[in-house]
Amino acid sequence: MLTLFPSMFLGPLQESILKRAQERGLLDIILHQLRDYAFDRHQMTDDTPYGGGDGMVLKPEPIYRAVTTIRNTESTPIILLTPQGQAFKQETAIELAQYPSLFLICGHYEGVDERIRKHLVTHEYSIGDYVLTGGELAAMVIIDAIARFIPGVLGAQNGARNDSYASGLLEGPQYTRPAVFQGREVPGVLRSGNHAAIERWQYEQALHRTQERRPDLLEEATPDH
Ligand code: ADE
């Protein structure tokens, strides 16, 4: 991970599932300060854009030096987080979880020098159609989504398999005790003990919810029922 703001990562990486995954050696996240690879007198990492315009552009040399010094192998994906990237989806998380290592670059300011984007970066991802102040929050989001597909990271076996998006459908409603809360009852079928009926009901609910909220997902859905 290459960033100008490594301390932004400390909160999310030191809690809950990501913390446990690191303690158990399933996940290793190494934060590198981009400024450490800027060798000029002022350790400059950005500069004004050629041709004018607002904002600053991340200089190519520090990023190039950092990536070529740090990356494990030539085949490690070099991923740039940018609003111009391909949409990051659940299937992207599954695909990226197969690699032994990834190198994430957090973009900042108006972007990175085009020569880095074109000749060093291998994948560009956006986490949504909005512009963040930098790639750090996007990097945290994709680390979290990818980590769920590393074997052993989620407690229960197949933990990530049945959740929303795994089948192309949103998850249906969930209930827990008490059976009656403020006069509102848990649907009887869930308490019936009839596993076939429960499974059918859950599938119908998932389908209904997806139709209502994300009809676009149904176009691509490949439900396993
Ligand atoms: N950097 C700024 N906005 C971003 C976005 N939406 N996705 C990924 N990286 C970003």
Whole-number Å distance, alpha carbon 188 to ligand 1 midpoint, is: 44
Residue 1 CB neighbour total at 10 angstroms: 21
Instruction: Write down the pLDDT at residue 163.
Output: 66
Task: Indicate if the pLDDT at residue 222 is higher than 90.
Answer: no
Q: CA triplet 121, 146, 149: central angle to 5 degrees?
A: 140
Report, as an integer, the average pLDDT of 5-15.
Answer: 95
Task: Indicate if the pLDDT at residue 97 is higher than 90.
Answer: yes
Whole-number Å distance, alpha carbon 128 to ligand 1 midpoint, is: 7
H/E element, 19: helix 16-23
Whole-number Å distance, alpha carbon 15 to ligand 1 midpoint, is: 23
The alpha carbon of 212 is separated from its chain's Cα centroid by a whole number of angstroms, namely 25
Task: Indicate if the pLDDT at residue 221 is higher than 90.
Answer: no
Task: Indicate if the pLDDT at residue 220 is higher than 80.
Answer: no
> Which is more confident, 147 or 110?
147
Instruction: Write down the pLDDT at residue 105.
Output: 98
**The pairing of beta strand 57-58 with beta strand 78-87:** unpaired
Give the C-alpha distances (Å, rounded to integers) separating 52 from 56, 58, 110.
10, 15, 12
| Domain that includes residue 93, residue range | 2-147
Decide: helix, strand or coil at residue 50: coil
In a domain, 189, yes or no: yes
Query: The whole model's pTM is what?
Result: 0.91
Look at the chain and report how many structural domains it folds into. 2
Structure tokens belonging to residue 219 = 């176009």
In a domain, 113, yes or no: yes
Residue with CA closest to ligand 1 atom 4: 83
| CATH number for the domain that contains residue 106 | 3.40.1280.10
Instruction: Write down the pLDDT at residue 160.
Output: 64
In a domain, 40, yes or no: yes
Q: How confident is the model at residue 162 (pLDDT cuts 50, 70, 90)?
A: low
- Residue-by-residue DSSP string for 161-211: TSSTTTTSS-------S-SEETTEEPPGGGGS--HHHHHHHHHHHHHHHHH
In a domain, 159, yes or no: no
| CATH number for the domain that contains residue 195 | 1.10.1270.20
Do 27 and 115 fall into the same domain? yes
Distance CA 52, CA 91 (A): 39
Residue with CA closest to ligand 1 atom 7: 126
User: Could you read off the pLDDT of 58-83 as tens digits, one per residue?
Assistant: 999 999 999 999 998 889 999 999 99
Q: Could you list the beta-strand ranges (E) of the chain.
A: 2-3, 32-33, 46-47, 57-58, 78-87, 103-106, 123-126, 180-181, 184-185
Mean pLDDT over each residue of the chain, to the nearest integer: 93
Residues paired with 104 in a beta bridge: 79
In a domain, 87, yes or no: yes
Do 115 and 56 fall into the same domain? yes
Phi (first) and psi of residue 82, to 5 degrees: -155, 145
| Residue 149: closest CA among 34, 45, 17 | 17
Q: How confident is the model at residue 157 (pLDDT cuts 50, 70, 90)?
A: low
In a domain, 202, yes or no: yes
